[in-house]
Structure 1
Amino acid sequence: MSFVVLCNEIRYGPLAAEQDLREQIARLVAALDAPQRSVRDSAEKELEALGWRILPELSEVVPSSPEVAQRLARIRERLIAQRVHQEAMESRVTLQVEQTSLEAILSAIQSQTGNTVIARGELARERISVSYHDAPFWKVIDGLAEQTRAEVTLESDGGVELLRNENPGKFFTQRQVTYAGPVRITVEKASNEQQNQTLAPRSAERMVLNVTLAWEPRLRPAMLWWGPVELMTASEVHHVLLPSRREIPIMGPRCGVETAVVVDGELGKGQGATIRGAFELVLPVCSETFRFARPGEKAIPARKRVGDVTVTLTSWSEKPEMVAVGLRAQYGEPHDAFASHRGWFYRWQAEIEGNGYRKTFDRLEALWLGDDGVELVYRFSGLPGPATAVRWTVPLAIVKIPAEFDIALEKLIQ
């Protein structure tokens, strides 16, 4: 969403309405079949320039000719690649306002980045001046928090809230923050109360550090590979605080995970002591629904490929009022995204279609878990009539966001 500053408030400029965009897409798709090659080439470039947000509209287009089908496939491949690249990058903010409410500033940031950040009450109404040009999202949010004497907190609904620090003893005062792409990493010394809850009696020589990884709220990662986390002293001796490659499934609309590590106080006080860690976010992007008609006897397996995924209808069996369908999704390279039976892919939606009805599955089981994909069997029961097709929604690509952090402990233990 575009914006300008007028009378010290944010006013939003006009954008193309959704209906206008659909009409523009339809006009350009029709031009892909124009007699003149120059017109076809120009339409292809214009469609691509509209960006990856038109992917859902393109998936509904029925090509009028083989050339249109080829051009649409080419456009979609490029837009998917664009989306995959952008997902792994941090969002950036450009904003300059004078004496504007924090609530309006956060709304403008959300319109630019897709990240929900809120403030409430008096804090939301506080007026401040800011100037950012192409600044990373998390650095902007931390800057606003510092400017308004607030804390950055992660909400259970997947958003971020700036919360006024009315009680300084309630929050951590010893903290180190670093950034890795769309992820914010904080390491902070726990409060005395938390120290007492975590450590056994007579453990005064040890301390508890809270490590939090927060990703931008627009992201919906499937899982996190976290670790190792190590303490490194000046003598280059490594002390493992967390074992390597801990798998953490991300369930629900979360935008962060946290853990506590215990550090020997004497080691942490050593000059040059640092805490080092690594992690990988596994992020599915560009979900699309694949439709397979009820196959004939010799029509299995049936395959479709879009983006980085090949989707295969592997089986179709019927009994009275019941259908079982086998579906496989396989990606171009291993992502360590399908390693666990706690897998996020159990949330992929499948529906069976018949004459006048559509029904979601009743049962689901995994037949195959591989490094690069999964095969699932969906069972549909209580059907009111013969099934004619199955629909399966899966991501077209999976992005892996690896990162490392290295934080000095000196300020945490002062």
Structure 2
Amino acid sequence: MGKKSDEVFGISNTILPDSYVDRGALDTEIGQQINRKVHLAIRGASKTGKTWLRQRLAPNSIVIQCRLGKSIEDIYKEALGQLDIRLVTNSTKGRELTGTVEAESEFGINLIGKVKAKLNLGTKASSAVSSTHLKQNVEDLKFIAELILESGRRLVIEDFHYLSHDEREHLAFDLKALWDLGVFVIVIGVWSDNNLLLNINTDLSGRVREASVSWSDPDLHQVLRNGANALNIIFNADVAKELVRISYGNVGILQRLTLDVLDRTQIFERQHSLVRVDNIETVRDAALFYAEELNSVYQSFAQNVSKGIRTRRGSTGIYAHAMAVVLTCDDSQLLKGVPLDDIFRIAHEREPRIQKGNLRIALGNIERLQVDDAGRGLVLSFADGKVRVVDHQLLLYRAFTTVEWPWDDIVRQSKEGGEDYEATSTQLLWQDN
């Protein structure tokens, strides 16, 4: 049996090498940085292949997935947990980290033992040793860093954007300490502003390199050509052009749509003789099916945002007007970023009582409004004074479905409730319950 189509195209948690494309030698560039004594920050929109890139260049890493509410302390606990070591922290003061590490397997025992020997730490009254148990006090980040170094594995922090502002700042300062200790971290996430970590902590200058993962139309066409060669097929020019157009610069969308098109063309494995994929209607059918599947995703998005908006007493209308303006912007605006000034101009035309300062604060909260209780579901971001779409599937969804967003209903309800649009900064600022 030949190579299957889903081994070449589709959404996968592992690399599909037959359709993999190195964008402008990006793999080589990042591969060089990985081997240098620097932290690496990889940024890009959702489903742009950041994780594939990391898997390809830094396999067998210690990978930590961030979620809303996760702390830097949690990150260290999970990282050591992957080394069979349990970290128990004491009450922390500021950014100081103290506690104990305790081995949970023979591997963990050996790792702690090697680090103790390296740091010339003898067995103290606070340490216990047996064939199945080893416990060691941790006075600062150094012992944790040495454990990661001794493991020979790279620390990778994914979905950095889900960390709160304070935890991002905490990590940025810890990265300077980790660099001093010889631990070089890969940070992956969705953000818009250039050199985010350096902007948070200028002491990282020369210690962190940032790489942006993006896809041009020629890159996406190359994905199709590579995969087609593996399956002994050829995509008609119109079919390929339409697939790329409605992928909105996103390789994940392209991979998903292409596999669905092949399913509709009854191509499930490598063909014995060259087959031409030329029915453009299969592309539209695949897009409609994809959009229908996404309906629950964006209904949840709308519900999460609506729920959050309605808890913003005294500022409900500001949030609703902002969302209404943003989601009526065209695709190119959302991909490039919609400036605050443009949003304010249109929102102010809709409701003259909206103040620019309050609108800025409201937009600063939109990430918190979107995510669910597990910290998932980010669709829009606000950075550098611009709102951008970070989940490009939204663009496909609204192109192939009739979307009825709830924002205008919320505006109407706020008017009926007598909202005066004079919310204070304190009322607008997000406060966790």
Give the TM interval when normalised to the shorter protein: under 0.3
- Higher helix fraction: Structure 1 or Structure 2? 2
> Could you state the TM-score of these two structures normalised by the residue count of structure 1?
0.23
- Higher strand fraction: Structure 1 or Structure 2? 1
